A = this chain, B = another copy of it.
Amino acid sequence: MKDVRLYSYWRSSCSWRVRIALGLQGIDYEYVAVHLVRDGGEQRTEAYERDHNPMRQVPVLEWTENGPQRLTQSLAILEMLSERGPKSLLPTDPMARAKARELAEVVNSGIQPQQNLATLQMVESLGGDKRAHGQEVIARGLASMERLATSAGTFLVGDTVSLADLCLVPQLYNAERFGLELNAFPTLVRAAAACAELPAFIAAHPDRQPDCPEQD
């Protein structure tokens, strides 16, 4: 992979997952900031939709390899990076692999789409309470993960980082943004704490991204 570019937003949880994976694989990349909020969202411009992602979302990974390549959808990107290596993001045992994907999908399709920017804007436009809605879906999803994480070790599945951890960490950050207490999820918190020690997770944190606003 040459000339790797990641279209990302500092606080996008799906972009964050991919930043961690790129770090774990030791892949250098250019960070292309897409501001999801300013002026209605740069991801909704005609140029972005046409040239990068018709779904009008981040992340998008672009690179050169037998010509220009592009891939959207964070889980598809994670699976590809896992297959390319050098570091597999899935266990070798078949049931453990299935468990890692199950937990990743609880976040990817079960929680995040219910509390992403588009959904919260829709809830708000209908006069609903977007914070309460986000809290509810995140709390239920994390409670489910806590119960489904039956083979957790140091990390969410056994003692090796997997896709599940890459999805977990940004989701817990969102939980805290929504004001949720994490005490009810000791297994998840323990795995996230182990992740927080790893350089790839440290480097991928929103606060370290070039488009993170300066804080007082």
A residues within 8 Å of B by Cβ? 53-55, 57, 69, 71-77, 79-80, 83-84, 94-95, 97-99, 101-102, 104-106, 108-110, 112-114, 118-119, 122-123, 126-128, 133, 140-141, 143-144, 147-148
Q: Classify the interface of chain A: helix, strand, loop or mixed.
A: helix
Which chain B residues lie closer than 8 Å to A118 at the CB level? Answer: 114
Known: A114-B119, A126-B128. A75 touches B101 (CB 8 A): yes
Which chain B residues lie closer than 8 Å to A140 at the CB level? Answer: 55
CA distance A148 to B70 in the complex (A): 10
Q: Is the CB of B113 within 8 A of A110?
A: yes
What is the minimal beta-carbon distance from A61 to any residue of chain B, in angstroms?
A: 10
Q: Is the CB of A98 within 8 A of B113?
A: no
CA distance A195 to B169 in the complex (A): 38
Q: Is the CB of A102 within 8 A of B114?
A: no
Q: Which residue of B lies closest to A100 (CB)?
A: B76
